[in-house]
Amino acid sequence: MKVFRLSNGQIVQIIDKEKIQNWDPETPVLFVNFILDKKLETYGGSKDQAEIRAYLNEILEDIAIPKLTNALKSPDQNARLAIAKSLVDISKKKPDMVKGVLGFLQDAEKVEKAAEVKANITQVLKNYDKALKRKQYEAKRKKMRELDERLKTGKISADEYVKERKEFLILGVETGAEED
Amino acid sequence: MCAKKQPAVGLSIDPAARKEKAISVLRDAFEQKLKEATQQGYDLPEGALVVDEIPADAAFKKTVEIAKTLYDQIMESGRFALDVPSRSSSNIIYDENNDLLLLGDKMNRKWFHSLTSVEDMTQLIKILEIVNQLLEKRIHATKREVFYNDVNLFKEQVNSDNCIEDLSTVLNTIRNSTNIVASAMGKAVGRLRIRDQRDIIDLEAMGSGGWAITPFLDNVEIIESDAEFVLVIEKDAAAMRLSEAKWWKDYPCIIISGRGAADIATRMFLKKINKVLNIPTFCLVDSDPYGHYIYSIYLRGSKKLSYESPFLATPNIHLLGVLTRDLDSYNVPKECRIPMNKTDITRCQQMLAESFVQKNTRWVADLELMMKIKEKAEIQSLSAHGFEYLTEEYLPSKIATADWI
């Protein structure tokens, strides 16, 4: 493990990058993305975080991205399908996890010839997009409660309210969520 | 219900100062452990059976090699035999340097053409066939499934279990490398991230129930952690208390609940964490001879699986509590203590007679005190001072004062 001793005394250990070489093609990007998204901000100060980020970027550049892009371009259709299916699974369970691979998938979707692989890649993108919209919808719903109050007290005009309400309803339709 | 009493005087210092002290003690222990880990290799004592954890393809090749050897013997003489390492207590070696129980190199030759061993040998060959299939198909089976694979042949599960252990020793590997696993009971929660094949699992985000330790530990890899120690807890109820309080957020740790006796998967997972992260490891058990016995299983392995000890035992695990002396130090009320029975006293005497106990004076002193006062108490007896006493007073005090065995 690579050991980071942070300025506040905290200890963080991250797997040696050589060990990541043996992972499945999509897992290293997901791992780096997970640490960047969920853990990094809890690690010491900005200097400590920069040091860890640099190591994660090293993993991304040296291993994770080449591994994923090579696999997505692999002549072996079954290998491409396995990655795409695995990502569909992850995008259903933990859509946030696939954020780091979206760009690569968008590129792959444009050039993919095999229908089944393409359909799975498209599904990952759709699942992520739906999850993102659902998050936006939840945030908007919270905002609408505040706007309801502000409309009642005359702190917001009817036009402004209608504009927000329309966006909220569209998001509701797009995500398949029902209005409360 | 025990009467609520005041905890020991002098232990209730400022919680923030105590936490700072505890973390400082843990960090010193981590640096020391890291230093030791980089300095030491692991050398088996002379005469000990060399056992290795091997990948499935290597184990598969070994099964084929054994089958070929048997085939050659049959073609040559029509009679065949297999040398099986003896697993009797006379062939168990105590490795004092590494504090482990290991299997010696004494062998038993099992002949197929012998009335005394034909049944054993037939069962063993069946297990060889099953293991070969499991490894070829890259799937796992439980010991129970293996037994049901041929109930008429094995008659009782103890027979198939014994053959599985025998075959592992013949293959010079641990049982997990044969893809036969025991069901796992343990749970883990806290500051640890693992990879299970294509899944990345965050043990801080598993709810209060924690992550159920998988028996398929060959698929699991430790990938990231900001834990500074591991706490293994005998009782699930105490682990739930810590889990509910999200204790690892305040005290950066990984909590493992063995849920009673330490099963193989739990011990193997603990060993994995200990080996990879090199962080101090502590054990919290009931203050009774059985609790001390469970600690000893984590510490140096069981006699039954002595050949796997280097892969299952955690020789640097410390007994944090509940020590016999803690009963008075932390004012565990008399009504929460239970008189030791005959079985407890016998077990305590047996523990005191063990060479690995005798070389640890602090451990001997605590067991002798137990024999003197003849009282035992559960971890939960600490809740006589309040439900949060364990997480807010007892554990922080124990760590801050480095009061462990």
Partners of A26 on chain B (C-beta within 8 Å) are 198
pLDDT at B7: 55
Q: Is B251 a residue whose pLDDT tops 90?
A: yes
CB pair distance less than 8 Å for A31 and B195: yes
User: What number of other Cβ atoms are within 10 A of residue A69's Cβ?
Assistant: 16
ipTM for the predicted complex comes to 0.78
Q: Which residue has the higher pLDDT, B46 or B229?
A: B229
As a whole number, mean pLDDT of residues B119-128 equals: 93
Q: How confident is the model at residue B52 (pLDDT cuts 50, 70, 90)?
A: confident
pLDDT at B10: 45
Q: Which residue has the higher pLDDT, A125 or B182?
A: A125
Give the residue among B303, B262, B274, B264 at the shortest CA–CA distance from B94.
B303
Q: How confident is the model at residue B98 (pLDDT cuts 50, 70, 90)?
A: low
CB pair distance less than 8 Å for A97 and B200: yes
Partners of B193 on chain A (C-beta within 8 Å) are 34-35, 39
Q: What percent of chain B has pLDDT over 70?
A: 92
Query: Is the Cβ of B221 closer than 8 Å to some Cβ of chain A?
Result: yes
pLDDT at B101: 66
Give the residue among B371, B392, B372 at the shortest CA–CA distance from B383.
B392
Q: With a cut of 70, list the residues of chain A below it in pLDDT.
A: 177-180
pLDDT at B9: 43
Q: What percent of chain A has pLDDT over 70?
A: 98
Q: Give me the count of residues in chain A.
A: 180
pLDDT tens digit string along B130-142? 999 999 998 999 8
CA distances from B33 to B229, B255, B359 (A): 11, 19, 20
Mutate to test the interface with A, among B20, B35, B224 (most CBs of A within 10 A): B224
Query: Is the Cβ of B193 closer than 8 Å to some Cβ of chain A?
Result: yes
Please name the fold of domain B56-181. Arc Repressor Mutant, subunit A (1.10.10)
**Candidate from B23, B193, B198 with C-beta closest to A24:** B198
CB pair distance less than 8 Å for A14 and B223: yes
pLDDT tens digit string along B16-38? 888 888 888 888 888 887 777 65
Sheet holding B220-225, edge to edge: A2-5, A11-14, B220-225, B192-196, B199-202
Domain segments of chain A as ranges: 1-72
pLDDT at A5: 92
As a whole number, mean pLDDT of residues B366-384 equals: 93
In a 3-state reduction of DSSP, which class is residue B31? helix
Q: Is B2 a residue whose pLDDT tops 60?
A: no
pLDDT tens digit string along B356-368? 899 899 999 999 9
Hey, what are B256's tokens?
């493992």
As a whole number, mean pLDDT of residues B387-391 equals: 90
Q: How confident is the model at residue B305 (pLDDT cuts 50, 70, 90)?
A: low
Q: Is B48 a residue whose pLDDT tops 80?
A: no
Query: Is the Cβ of B30 closer than 8 Å to some Cβ of chain A?
Result: yes
Domain segments of chain B as ranges: 15-41+183-400, 56-181
Query: Is the Cβ of B222 closer than 8 Å to some Cβ of chain A?
Result: yes
CA distances from B251 to B30, B169, B192, B242, B381 (A): 14, 41, 13, 10, 22
CB pair distance less than 8 Å for A27 and B27: no
Mutate to test the interface with B, among A10, A13, A26 (most CBs of B within 10 A): A13
**This prediction's pTM:** 0.80
CA distances from B82 to A43, B15, B89, B277, B307 (A): 56, 62, 21, 40, 18
Please name the fold of domain B15-41+183-400. Dna Topoisomerase Vi A Subunit; Chain: A, domain 2 (3.40.1360)
CA B286 – CA B292 distance, rounded (Å): 8
CB pair distance less than 8 Å for B226 and A14: no
As a whole number, mean pLDDT of residues B217-225 equals: 92
Active site residues of B: 148
CB pair distance less than 8 Å for A3 and B34: yes
Query: Is the Cβ of B244 closer than 8 Å to some Cβ of chain A?
Result: no
pLDDT tens digit string along B56-71? 889 999 999 999 999 9
Mutate to test the interface with A, among B35, B199, B201 (most CBs of A within 10 A): B199
pLDDT at A60: 85
pLDDT at A50: 94
**Candidate from B197, B221, B277 with C-beta closest to A13:** B277
Q: Give me the count of residues in chain B.
A: 405
- Angle, to 10 degrees, between the axis of helix B361-373 and the axis of helix B342-353? 160
Asked if residues B302 and B91 have their Cβ atoms less than 8 Å apart, the reply is no
